[in-house]
């Protein structure tokens, strides 16, 4: 059985790949439009499921409240940047700059989680919680991806 940490890392890896591909696109192309939509969907679905099945349970611990708030705030910042990208001409240099900033923000967020938050949560969650949260997270992701 997988743990919540393995599920989240697997999705982080997919998002890293999508963001890398997105920042290599050029102009107002169909490929850029499709990849951007994939990135938005992947990040939004991941954020929703992660907030429900990782951050919410982590907030039950006093030492997890600040980490959870910080992680959720970073989600909000990425959402705002994607909204800005939606209203920017895809062929502009500003749009590509925003895409690279989104990539940097996401990579920083993933690194914080994987190198700090997961360790802290791993000490708090029982083994059964880790697998139960993984199952709930994956079910939520499958529901959102439909």
DSSP 3: -
pTM over 0.85? The answer is yes
- Give the pLDDT confidence score for residue 1 in this predicted structure: 86
pLDDT, tens only, 64-74: 999 999 999 99
Range of the domain at 58: 4-145
pLDDT, tens only, 3-29: 999 999 999 999 999 999 999 999 999
Q: Which residue has the tokens 């209203």?
A: 87
Domain count, the chain: 1
- Give the pLDDT confidence score for residue 30 in this predicted structure: 93
Reply yes or no on whether the pLDDT at 49 is more than 90: yes
Question: Are the C-beta atoms of 101 and 18 separated by less than 8 Å?
Answer: no
């Amino acid at each position: 059985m997988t743990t919540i940490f393995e599920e989240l890392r697997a999705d982080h890896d997919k998002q890293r790949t999508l963001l890398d591909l997105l920042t290599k696109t050029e102009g107002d192309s169909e490929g850029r439009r499709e990849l951007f939509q994939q990135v938005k969907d992947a990040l939004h679905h991941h954020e929703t499921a992660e907030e429900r099945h990782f951050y919410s349970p982590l907030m039950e611990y006093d030492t997890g409240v600040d980490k959870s708030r910080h992680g959720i705030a970073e989600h909000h910042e990425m959402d705002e940047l994607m909204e800005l990208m939606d209203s920017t001409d895809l062929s502009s240099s500003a749009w590509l700059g925003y895409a690279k900033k989104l990539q940097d923000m996401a990579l920083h967020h993933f690194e914080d989680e994987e190198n700090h938050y997961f360790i802290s949560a791993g000490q708090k969650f029982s083994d059964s919680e880790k697998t139960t949260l993984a199952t709930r997270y994956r079910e939520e992701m499958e529901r959102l991806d439909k």
